[in-house]
Structure 1
Amino acid sequence: MSLAPIAFFAYKRPEHTKQSLESLAQNEGAESSELFIFCDAPKKPEDEEAVTQVREVVRSKQWCGQVHIIERQQNLGLANSIIQGVTELCSKYGKVIVLEDDLILSPFFLEYMNKALEIYEKESKVIHVSGYIFPVKLTSDNDAIFLPFTTSWGWATWQRAWQHFDPEMNGYKQIKANKKQKYKFDLNGSFNYFKMLESQIAGKIDSWAIRWYLSTFMLDGLTLFPNKSLVKNIGFDGSGTHCGDSSSFDGEMTQDKILSMPKSLKLNDKEVNIVFKYLRSLNQPPSLLQRIKNKLVRFF
């Protein structure tokens, strides 16, 4: 198996970066993998010390078989840093595994990613491989399923797919003008991705992820998800530039291997509905009982 290069993006969280890289180093196959660590430059003078500490962390160990450290001289921001890094590695190697500095990985994360990249390499319908799955209980006979949208917590793709990445969001007007398309883009009303897209259009956010989802949506592409998450995000502690202080997406990370993957490139309606139902539940206002509990928690 030809192992994919790993792109790791870090900024100013040295402790998160250390934990994430340590979990990567413990993966089966890490000793044979090539790792590219992209360290962004400080955006503000007060970030310089933390950025320096991150660079010390990434240089402190041989995290994978080969390690290349790219220290940016000017701040690119997360979106531009990921777009540039993924584009460079896809162009050179034809595929890439992508990580950010707040992700803890299962020891079988790399094995799953490389296996999926090999199995679906020539399947143009499969655009994205996700290492993360929402905290839902799936019933599929396989250890992985297809869903019609992308995620950003530990993922992989191929050059054949990434070449369609559209940073200019040319599909926006088409979706805006078509209610059925907009409903589908929002996962049948389960999650307001179109609102995020409008925020990107208006310059209120700077997200590579919503633009990548739009790009894959326009291709009617599929994403492979494991039935149990191989990734845990530790960034929801207020330390990140784009993260809050809590998350409804965090669940238990499996320590099991992903053994079987779907042969049919079709969506399983039952599994899709389970995920959509979970996402839809996040949009529901809290019940009276929950509001009382929240007040009591704050009081005590």
Structure 2
Amino acid sequence: MEYSPILLFVFNRPEHVHRTITALQQNTLAAESVLYIYSDGARSDEQKESVDEVRRYIHSINGFKEIHIIERKENWGLARNIIDGVTTRVKEYGRVIVLEDDLITAPYFLQFMNDALETYKDEDKVGHIQGCDFTQDSSLPDTFLIKWTGSWGWATWERAWKHFNPDGKALLEELEKRNLTKTFDFNGKYGFTRMLRRQIEGKNNSWAIRWNASLFLKDVLSLNVGKSLVQNEGFDGSGTNCGGGGLYDSILWMKPLPVVKISPIEENISARKAFEKYYYRTNCFWAKTIRRIKRTLKGDFGA
């Protein structure tokens, strides 16, 4: 079996990159996997030293079947990097596994992702695999299908990536035309539509919200895990898009997670309700107010 290539996107956080690589090297299929590392360029002279440090490190790593390093001469930003990297490699290999530089993987992450990519390769109604669970909801099964795509340790196929529409405005117009915004927002419990609107306005540059909307509008499902194989360490204020902490903590599942093909291929409504419950619990008015008070007490007076 030919294993899927891994695409890793890095920038200017050498300590995060080191931890991500170390965990990935400990995966059971690391030595049989091809790794592509996309290193973004600095946005300013102040960032150049840390970007160079990351590049020195990634040129020293081993433990994979092949390692290919793509160094951007300019700052592309995460969205452009991921869209270009996924588009290029998925055409070449037919499937990809995607990671960012603040994700810690469990030892059987690559095994699970490759098993899932193979198991669902001919299922057009499944277009995404998500290896991270942050709900910590014990009612979730080991794997389930849902109309929602997470971006922390994921995989897809060329047939599914063809659905990706980078035009956020067109996606929003279709969601509104078909009266799907409330459903897209987990019954109004989380502002994914607002996130898409902010992307259109240039207030964020999220590729992930556009990928989420693209598959949602095509009625294409994601295979998700109820036991997390990925942990996001980026909520320490070091990243461009992540701050705060605690909301998306996950506990790594350190054992193999079997992939048993789900039948019929349809959304797990109980899982969707579990996500709706999670988003209500963490994003309702009182939850946000309590977090704001706690931050203030710690001396954090940011927005």
Cα separation, 2, equivalents of 1:73 and 1:63: 26
Which residue of structure 2 lines up, in the alignment, with residue 152 of structure 1?
151
Cα separation, 2, equivalents of 1:125 and 1:61: 37
One-letter amino acid matched to 2:203: K
Once the two structures are superposed, what CA deviation does each residue of 1:134-190 show, in whole Å capped at 9, x if it has no partner?
Answer: 2332435x52111110011000000000011110132221212343x1111112222
Unpaired segments of 5 or more residues in structure 2? none
Once the two structures are superposed, what CA deviation does each residue of 1:18-41 show, in whole Å capped at 9, x if it has no partner?
Answer: 000010000011000000000011
RMSD: 2.0
In the alignment, structure 1 residue 93 sits paired with structure 2 residue 93: yes
Cα separation, 2, equivalents of 1:182 and 1:288: 22
Cα separation, 1, equivalents of 2:115 and 2:245: 32
Which residue of structure 2 lines up, in the alignment, with residue 48 of structure 1?
48
Q: TM-score, normalised by structure 2?
A: 0.93
Which residue of structure 2 lines up, in the alignment, with residue 167 of structure 1?
166
Q: How does 1:4-15 map to 2 (within 5 A)?
A: 4-15=4-15
Percent identity over the alignment is 40
Which residue of structure 1 lines up, in the alignment, with residue 131 of structure 2?
131
One-letter amino acid matched to 1:51: V
Which residue of structure 1 lines up, in the alignment, with residue 283 of structure 2?
283
Contact kept? 1:106, 1:230, Cα under 8 Å: yes
Contact kept? 1:21, 1:63, Cα under 8 Å: no
Unpaired segments of 5 or more residues in structure 1? none
Contact kept? 1:136, 1:275, Cα under 8 Å: no
Q: How does 1:191-210 map to 2 (within 5 A)?
A: 191-210=190-209
Contact kept? 1:146, 1:266, Cα under 8 Å: yes
Distance 1:124 1:49, change over 3 A: same
Distance 1:286 1:159, change over 3 A: same
Which residue of structure 2 lines up, in the alignment, with residue 236 of structure 1?
235
Cα offset for 1:295? 8.1
SS in 2 for 1:97: strand
Q: How does 1:56-95 map to 2 (within 5 A)?
A: 56-95=56-95
Contact kept? 2:134, 2:250, Cα under 8 Å: yes
Q: TM-score, normalised by structure 1?
A: 0.93
SS in 2 for 1:171: helix
Contact kept? 2:189, 2:284, Cα under 8 Å: no
Contact kept? 1:22, 1:63, Cα under 8 Å: no
Cα offset for 1:98? 0.2
Aligned positions, number: 297
One-letter amino acid matched to 1:246: G
Which residue of structure 2 lines up, in the alignment, with residue 122 of structure 1?
122
SS in 1 for 2:84: helix
